[in-house]
């Protein structure tokens, strides 16, 4: 997402760009991780698994997907189109003034993308995990190959492969807001995580089997190293920049450019590299190495001048606009934020419970109903129908994954995926 990036301070590095120490790296991170700006802009990133409706167990190849992308016209909403390691296709929208225009732009781009894939005999399915096929990487990018090697060397090969090739999400990008409010805003973005996961859970199957979790996507991320994928916040969460710096410096280095991405197969916290206790690639790190390291960290809320909110499963078109509107309203509307902060406080740390049983937990059910009610009071007319569906689903204690599971049990996994790939509701 192309939010404007504030000028980065250079006092943390030497003239050649080499970082002087872990303390200098920490200063660089705290100085640059969030941008003091008004609230209001919203950027969306939506991923969907690519399927062959005729042979749903087959994973379309790199050349096959690339040919579709080469045929695409310009996206009317301005989205960039990329391909994830396992062939999931991602639309990344530009920042838009307001959530409703962001949703409208993304919806128009989805229509163009779906039409192009349908013309090629392929379909796009919005689920948090691939319910049918085994994990397999098709994107030949050097970064993804190195990541694959890193996960295999650190005993997280199975979870790492699933994360890279079998998961899909909807990411919401929001301005950090005025600096005086960073602490409460980042704290609320984290606290909302379990409740929003319970509302949006849409991944009860992975690789042809029920996992026992409503959000298997969240379960997969939880199986990876918490130093790289866990929540950032400390207990106080009053200083997000310091929290992010502490997190980033403790996290192990995944890749080093030499000049291609090379996996680091031993456990080396970035602080050790910056302080010279370990040399990677035969050298000390530069600010460019630190910037790249930050892109290999995947917490549920990641500061990148703006806030990347990364904890939503990919969900169907009938539901995702209301879910996105709810999340943005609860963070950007001051009155709704007050309601949300009080509602989710009892479940702010219930990440696993939310992923496993969703709204079946009574505390998450109560929090979710209060949150969607607060958002529904503020919904614009064009989103009223989608919001009503969301309110009704939450009142019934159901998430999108429940609907998918019911259909898969009744019709079979492969026929259900085939129907979704053909655009059947």
Tell me what pLDDT residue 260 has. 85
Q: What is the mean pLDDT of residues 392-419?
A: 98
Average of per-residue pLDDT values in the chain: 94
Q: C-alpha distances in angstroms, 363 versus 218, 349, 366, 401? A: 19, 12, 5, 19
For the record, the structure tokens of 265 come out as 């197969």
Beta-sheet strands, E only, within 139-192: 169-174
For the domain bounded by 22-422, which CATH number is listed? 3.30.590.20
**Tokens encoding 3:** 């939010």
Q: Is 34 helix (H, G, I), strand (E, B) or coil?
A: strand
The pLDDT value given to residue 9: 37
Confidence (pLDDT) at 1: 53
pLDDT band at 15 (very low <50, low <70, confident <90, very high): very low
Angstrom CA distances, 64 to 59, 121, 126, stand at 10, 10, 19
Whether the CA torsion 239, 242, 247, 250 is positive or negative: it is negative
Which residues 6+ apart lie within 8 Å of 78 measured at CB?
Answer: 93, 94, 105, 109
Q: What is the pLDDT of residue 209?
A: 97
Return the closest-CA partner of residue 269 out of 288, 296, 235.
296
Mind listing the pLDDT tens digit for each residue in 209-247? 999 999 999 999 999 988 999 998 764 567 899 999 999
pLDDT digits (tens, 9 = 90+) for 26-53: 999 999 999 999 999 999 999 999 999 9
Q: What are phi and psi of 401, to 5 degrees?
A: -65, -30
So what's the pLDDT on residue 400?
A: 98
* pLDDT single digits (tens) 154-197: 889 999 999 999 999 999 999 999 999 999 999 999 999 999 99
pLDDT digits (tens, 9 = 90+) for 254-313: 999 888 889 999 999 999 999 999 999 899 999 999 999 999 999 999 999 999 999 999
CB-facing half-sphere around the CA of 224: CA atoms within 13 A: 30
* The predicted structure's pLDDT at residue 236: 56
Domain residue limits, the chain: 22-422
Long-range contacts of 266-272 (CB under 8 A, 24+ apart): 267/154, 270/22, 270/25, 271/22, 271/25, 272/22
Say what the pLDDT of residue 233 is.
72
Angle at 247 between CA 241 and CA 253, to 5 degrees: 125
Residue 7 confidence class, pLDDT cut points 50, 70, 90? very low
The model carries a pTM of: 0.94
Q: What is the pLDDT of residues 326-378, one digit of tens each?
A: 999 999 999 999 999 999 999 999 999 999 999 999 999 999 999 999 999 99
Report DSSP state, residue 19.
B
Whole-number pLDDT of residue 316:
97
Written as six digits, the tokens of 230 are 């866990």
Q: What is the pLDDT of residue 11?
A: 42
396-415: average pLDDT: 98
């Amino acid at each position: 997402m192309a939010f404007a990036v504030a000028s980065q301070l250079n006092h943390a590095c030497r003239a050649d760009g080499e970082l002087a120490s872990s303390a200098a790296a920490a200063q660089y991170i705290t100085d640059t991780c969030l941008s003091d700006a008004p609230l209001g802009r919203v950027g969306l990133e939506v991923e969907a698994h690519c399927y062959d409706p005729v042979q749903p167990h087959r994973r379309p190849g790199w050349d096959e997907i690339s040919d579709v992308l080469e045929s695409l016209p310009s996206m009317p909403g301005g989205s960039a189109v990329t391909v994830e390691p396992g062939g999931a296709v991602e639309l990344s929208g530009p920042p838009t003034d307001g959530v409703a225009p962001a949703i409208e732009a993304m919806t128009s781009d989805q229509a163009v993308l779906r039409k192009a894939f349908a013309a090629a005999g392929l379909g796009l399915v919005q689920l948090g995990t691939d319910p049918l096929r085994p994990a397999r990487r098709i994107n030949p990018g050097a970064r993804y190959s190195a990541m694959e090697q890193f996960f295999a060397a650190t005993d997280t090969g199975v979870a790492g492969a699933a994360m890279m090739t079998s998961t899909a999400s909807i990411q919401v990008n929001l301005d950090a807001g005025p600096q005086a409010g960073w602490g409460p805003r980042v704290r609320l973005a984290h606290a909302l995580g379990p409740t929003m996961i319970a509302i949006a859970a849409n991944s009860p199957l992975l690789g042809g089997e029920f996992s026992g979790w409503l959000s298997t996507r969240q379960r997969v991320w939880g199986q990876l190293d918490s130093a790289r994928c866990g929540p950032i916040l400390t207990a106080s969460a009053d200083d997000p920049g310091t929290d992010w710096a502490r997190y980033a410096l403790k996290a192990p280095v995944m890749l080093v450019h030499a000049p291609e991405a090379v996996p680091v197969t031993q456990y080396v916290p970035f602080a050790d590299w910056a302080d010279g206790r370990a040399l990677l690639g035969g050298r000390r790190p530069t600010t460019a190495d630190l910037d790249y390291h930050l892109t290999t960290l995947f917490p549920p809320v990641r500061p990148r001048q703006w806030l990347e909110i990364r904890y939503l499963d990919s969900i169907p078109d009938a539901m995702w606009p209301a879910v996105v509107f709810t999340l943005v309203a609860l963070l950007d509307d001051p009155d709704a934020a007050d309601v949300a902060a009080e509602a989710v406080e009892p479940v702010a740390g219930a990440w696993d419970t939310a992923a496993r049983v969703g709204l079946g937990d009574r505390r998450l059910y109560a929090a979710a109903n209060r949150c969607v009610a607060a958002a529904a009071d503020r919904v614009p007319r064009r989103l009223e129908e989608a919001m009503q569906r969301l309110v009704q689903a939450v009142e019934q204690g159901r998430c999108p994954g429940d609907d998918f599971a019911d259909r898969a049990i009744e019709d079979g996994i492969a026929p259900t995926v085939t129907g979704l790939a053909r655009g059947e509701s």
